[in-house]
A and B are shown apart, each in its own frame.
Chain A
Amino acid sequence: MDQHNQQPVAPDAAAEQVEEAARILARVRNEVAKRIVGQQSMIDGLLTGIITGGHVLLEGVPGLAKTLAIKALAEVIDAGFRRIQFTPDLLPADLVGTMIYRQQTGEFVPRKGPVFSNIILADEINRAPAKVQSALLEAMEERQVTIGETTFSLPRPFFVLATQNPIEQEGTYPLPEAQLDRFLLKLAVDYPTPEEELLILRRVGIEREIPVGKVLGSDDIARLRTIAEQISVDERIEQYIVRLVAASREENKNVHTWARYIEFGASPRATINLFRTAKVHALFEGRPYVVPEDVKHVAPAVLRHRIILSYEAESEELSADEVVHFLLSAVPVP
């Protein structure tokens, strides 16, 4: 079989790089763990977004430490951080900035908005109107903002970590599918286990500030990204990724019985993101190569917001996660 995708990195060198990445990641995880109990998959998802340079949407009911986790991660990372609370009266200018008149010089000068930062927490993104969401999502995609007649590049790295609440739909503006597709991952934040909850109670039962150190600089992020890019992906894994995404677009109900639950399948952007995030997951696992487990592990977060369920799925009260599970159970691993 063709092995053209095997990276020509010496095994020892690759192993050393992965060890180096593991040390960096362990430092970050330890620091974040000082504030956040459990939620390891959420933390790993956020880190995946940071390493691959993709934006992450967190969805979960209130009180699951979504915002806290992002704030903790932002404090761990030595980079600029801004939080934007999305509300119905928010305007695009409040986000990206506007031109203001300077009386001394008699000219309009741009005033940059909070989007000009490395890490943006778009809290409750579905509470702002569509035009505000659109302004942010445009910045996410193009990594630049135009104020007046001047276009400004956003600082590097630039991550948007957005949260939304799935249960309160009154007065919200659900993100359109096309805009959801721009998020690398959609992380479903679940309740902690009873053991974790007990630990949370003991740790933050008394309100206090838990300090965390800045252990991840921009250089570290760049280094992690370089190492992740060098993770080798076999041709068969690539084909597996493509088969998974293609299966989500299968229209023939005789091929997959669950095909009737999908109105529209995942886009090629899903294929690309599955490829990238599987590499990062392999890095988390300390492997310089990707195995099918990496792909299956990241697939729900990559695909759940990219698959549009059909009326049949809704009538049977199936979630996107369940349909993704059907998909993963049907496509043979290489």
Chain B
Amino acid sequence: MTAHLKRGVRVWAVLALLTASAQPLTAGYQVISVTLLPQEFYVGDRVEMRVTLRTTSAVELLAPERVPTVEWGEIHQVRLVARGLDWDIRIVLTSFQPGTRTIPPLDLGGIVVSDLNVHVPSILAEGRRDLTTPQPQVLPPGTRLWISVLAMVLVVVPLSLLVFLRWGRRSLVEFLVRRRERKPYRRLVRALSLLSQDVEQIDGREFYIALLEHVRRFISAILETDCMASTTTELGAHLERLLIDEGERLTVLSLFHRGDLVKFAAAPAPTDRRREDITLLLSIAERLGAEHRNPHRSPQRSPYPNRRKQRVGL
């Protein structure tokens, strides 16, 4: 062996001795488990990686003084938690890139932990699609339908209004006025018809109380004057506006006087008389109603002088 070769053997021996003596200084470790919290996370999410280590010898580990930096994201914190013989390395990190990312070696004093990988999934990867171009504002379901309906209403309603104002208003107003005017006649006829059914059952006094009240309401509605507080004589004055025929007016007035007699003087009210009174009032009410429907045929004066004037102006 030459001197040169001898010197080389000595160097290797020293290196091997150094390697052997260094072994107790850098103890071995075994990764027991790696847990990610939360287990499901994506790019940009803050996640805690818990790595449980078991060292081959009893060494005191220390958290690295400096938190390592990475290109693919940010490591926020590295902590160590002793768990008997095991150690937990808790690395809080956020990855801004998908894929498997390697955490730089961590010098924990007694050991250097390396080859820690974290797989960062991506929503895009799961959806199996690439980034799309910017989309317009997302609309709630049915918005287009509503917009269409609104547009139609905006067009149709003014058009309908124009048509109504041009052709329909007069007819509608006349219809409503006639209907309103006919209401008292219909109501009186209906009330008298009902009363005629009970003409034999009810007491004469009660009969005339009901009968005259119906007639009062009728006159009040027709003349648009409250006749409920009017006495029989006052009603006579009101009837002059309603019945032009004096004979008919006096007949109705005598009915009221007879009613007063029955109501307040306990005069008898034979059933025949009651029927006659109902028949009389029904015939007058129906005639007035018919004349009201056909005012041109009516010899009676109108009980609605003001209304007719108003209708001309419509």
Contact = CB atoms under 8 A, between A and B. Distances in A.
Interface of A: 1, 3, 6, 11, 232, 234, 236-237, 287-293, 296, 328-334
Interface in B203-244: 203, 205-206, 209, 226, 228-233
Given A1-B205, A289-B264, A334-B209, 10 more contacts: A1-B206, A11-B265, A232-B266, A292-B231, A293-B231, A293-B233, A296-B231, A331-B229, A332-B229, A333-B230
Contacts of B203: 1
B291 interface: no
B263 interface: yes
A3 B204 CA distance: 13
B277 interface: no
Contacts of A1: 203, 205-206, 209
Given A1-B205, A1-B206, A329 B263 contact: no
Contacts of B228: 332-333
Given A1-B205, A1-B206, A329-B226, A234 B231 contact: no
A271 to B, nearest CB: 18
Contacts of A234: 263-266
B265 A236 contact: no
A6 B203 CA distance: 16
Contacts, number: 49
B181 interface: no
Given A331-B229, A332-B228, A332-B229, A288 B266 contact: no
A333 B231 contact: yes
B260 interface: yes
A291 B260 contact: yes
A6 B229 contact: no
A234 B206 CA distance: 13
Nearest to A234: B264
Which of the listed residues B206, B209, B265, B266 has the most CB atoms from chain A within 10 Å of its own CB?
B265
Nearest to B206: A1
A290 B229 contact: no
Contacts of B230: 333
A288 B231 contact: no
B229 A237 contact: no
Nearest to A287: B265
Contacts of B206: 1
A288 B264 CA distance: 10
A138 B35 CA distance: 112
17 contacts: A1-B206, A3-B266, A6-B266, A11-B265, A11-B267, A232-B265, A232-B266, A234-B264, A237-B264, A289-B265, A290-B264, A291-B260, A292-B231, A296-B231, A330-B229, A331-B229, A334-B263
Nearest to A232: B265
Contacts of B265: 11, 232, 234, 287-289
Interface in B47-104: none
